[in-house]
Chains A and B, each alone.
Chain A
Amino acid sequence: MLSIFLCIISGVLAGYLLRNRRFVKYVGTLLSVVIMLLLFFLGVSVGINQQVVNNFAAIGMDALILTIGGTVGSLLCAKLIYQLFFKKTRE
């Protein structure tokens, strides 16, 4: 886990120091390419995993339940702070 934090933090430092260089403009594009590569590999590891292939419907259902929980929870909190702090000052 430590290596993950080190990667991000050294990236933030490098990004800050190099923020005026032209190459940082291309980081976003490079990032998309790396993400595509990794999602392709995720697809491959799903395809060779019999457990995932056989239970795809159940996995999708679990994902849906977690999405509903997280999204509705955030909607309710957003409604609360909207009414307490944002609505009056803005409308």
Chain B
Amino acid sequence: MKQSLLYLLLFATGVVLSLTGMMPEALLDSAITKWVLYLLLLLVGIQIGSGRNHFAALKRYGASIMLVPLATTVGTFAGVALVSLALPERTLTDCMSVGAGFAYYSLSSILITEFRGAELGTVALLANIMREFSVLILAPWMVKHFGKLAPISAGGATTMDTTLPVITQFSGTEYVVIALFHGIIIDFSVPLWVTFFLSL
């Protein structure tokens, strides 16, 4: 949560500095951000590749643990496709790329900005921050009405870090391993799904 607020603060600082015209033109060169983006993706890859115990949880719970990230993915895409009907000025693939952020707002908004511009990038940033905050605030309500897997599915890619404490608290410690496994799988799928929808 502290980290999310820091990220939001940096974004807001960028907005304020450029609105007041205090940003030097040289810093607005998009070639720089492109290379930093590639560095980001390389680091995301290193983090995934160097992680241990990705499959330890799979052995313990069997194949049913795979159903959790599957439910998150299918449910998110179905829900986003449905509400995209209420947004006629946006294309289905643009809406899907925002939904494919799965609350991983930093990576998804940066990727979308690079390929579709700051407008859709901002939609992605706000939508995915809202998704993370919904879990932080509504986890007990989610568990009560949708079962103990609910905050895990809603948390998307964040269930291995920022939303793990509330999941532990409201779903119970026996769901921690499922949440970690789910977070790793969704985390890995975010850049793949986002670029997939943007390339359509």
Known contacts A17-B49, A39-B109, A87-B147; 15 further A-B pairs (Cβ under 8 A): A4-B111, A11-B48, A27-B47, A39-B110, A43-B12, A44-B23, A45-B113, A70-B131, A74-B153, A74-B156, A75-B75, A78-B71, A78-B150, A78-B154, A86-B149
Inter-chain contacts of B12 with A (CB < 8 A): 43
Query: Is A62 a contact of B150 with CB atoms below 8 Å?
Result: no
Interface of B is mostly: helix
Verify if B13 is at the interface (C-beta below 8 Å from A): yes
B11 touching A19 by the CB < 8 A rule? no
B165 contacts partner chain A, Cβ-Cβ < 8 Å: no
Decide if A82 touches B146 in the complex (CB within 8 Å).
yes
- Mark contacts of B25-51 with chain A using CB atoms, 8 A cut-off: 1 yes-contact digit, 0 otherwise: 001100011001111111111111111
Instruction: Report A's interface with B, CB cutoff 8 A.
Output: 1, 3-5, 7-19, 24, 27-28, 30-32, 34-49, 51-53, 55-56, 59-60, 62-83, 85-87, 90
- The interface residues of chain A, by DSSP majority, are classed as helix
In the complex, which range does the number of interface residues on chain B fall in?
Answer: 35 or more
